Amino acid sequence: MSICCADIPRLPGLESITFRAGLTGGQRIVRWPYVAENDSIQAWISGGELVFITGINHCRTEQNLCLLVQEAVNSNVAGMVILTGPEFIQYIPNSVLELANKHQLPVLEQPYSLKMVLVTEVISNAIVQDNLLGKSVKLFLTKLINGFDQASELIHLRAGDLGISDTNSFATFAVRISHLDQNIEDSNHQLLHLHHELEQHLGSILKRRDIDWPVLTYEKDLLAIWPVTEDTTELYDELEQVLNLLQKQFPLLALCIGVSERKTGLDKLADATEQARQALQFAVKHQHQRIFFYEQLGIARLYAAIPNRGLLSDFCKQHLGELCFARDTSTLEMKSTLNHYFNHFGHQQQTADAMGIHRNTLRYRLNRIEQRLGYSLQDSFLRLNLQNALLIEQILFHHHDIEEQADSLISPND
């Protein structure tokens, strides 16, 4: 749903523009065309531009062109277009192309005979039209993931108006930053910037896969619609590649993915989103498995299907007591200890080894937990209820977040 560098030679009238280097970065999104008229471009660009180098007002030596490539990389521009002809820049030096390939920066070549006024007009119009269509599609899909109540026939008609198909099978996957560096957590501006960059990079991955669906946002999660066939055996490998690409681009972030069941029809998008986010809750909770499928939830799917959230919440409060929904450091440590303890079938030495703590430390924690709960973990029936309560709590967590946010918006005087 965005114009990228690889699209430029495909636009009507721009067929004479050719790719010369950095083809692996061809899916970089073009925010706007910019014609460079200065010796340096660093002070005049902010990222995402397609920079045109004409050589008309400044003599562009091989050294200067390499400098411009380096500045373009540092400023995260979409790509560069170098105009060549007999009068100014006769050819693009190999050193420039090699540097661009090294940094995966798209470099295209444009003949001087192709007028700049036509080029910038075609690109600008394509960006504007694409943005308008993209926003319409994004708004339509956002309404659907929020459970906007529409008949499937109306959804089908609206999808047709927007030029998208709602008859193909898909899975929705949700991506979340599960852990952040403390310095990033303390900076809202930096966090928003990272989230935006993550959204842009995920969008470029989808585009490389010829997936036209835009990346959607739902609270703190990014959502993507991934086409699937009846045979979903390759889906895990495909999404693992996506996660690895994102992780490579953002090595300081811990990322997790939750995946829905296979669905057909956009009227199922809200259900798919809910399933993906439920699976994501478990991926975040169990860091050893960064991709979690809804089908893997087992008995948790039965709990998730119970419409009476109050009934589930009461069960959690009954068996978890004051630990229920609490998020202070001490309580989170207790619940993590319990999960490890249950995952190792109550074997204390294996639990201690898995957690990297001494067995005496584990015993001390378990004693404190029993004091907080008010009953013994030796009772197998109570232990089973407690394990299920922890499982249900994970399902309810994002619903509990929503309720807290709503409560915080109600002033005491209302």
Interatomic CA distance for residues 400 and 395, integer angstroms: 9
Write out the H or E segment, with its range, that includes residue 180.
none
Work out the end-to-end distance of the chain between its first and last CA atoms, rounded to an integer number of angstroms: 43
Give pTM, 2 decimals: 0.57
What local confidence, expressed as pLDDT, does residue 342 receive?
83
The label of the residue with tokens 């946010």 reads 405
Cα separation, 278 vs 300, in Å, equals 9
Which regions in the chain score pLDDT beneath 50?
400-414
Summarize pLDDT for 14-72 with one digit per residue, the tens.
999 999 999 988 888 898 999 998 889 988 988 889 999 998 888 899 999 999 999 99
What's the pLDDT tens digit per position in 301-335?
666 667 777 888 888 888 888 888 888 888 888 98
Cα separation, 373 vs 318, whole angstroms: 10
Place of tokens 């709960």: 373
* Closest to 181 in 3D by CA, of 132, 114, 241, 250: 250
In the structure encoding, which two tokens stand for residue 349, read together? 């030495």
Q: Which positions ≥6 away from 393 have C-beta within 8 Å?
A: 316, 320, 324, 325
pLDDT of res. 390 = 85
What the block records as the tokens of 74 is 């540092």
Element (H, E) at 27: none
Q: What is the pLDDT of residue 13?
A: 94
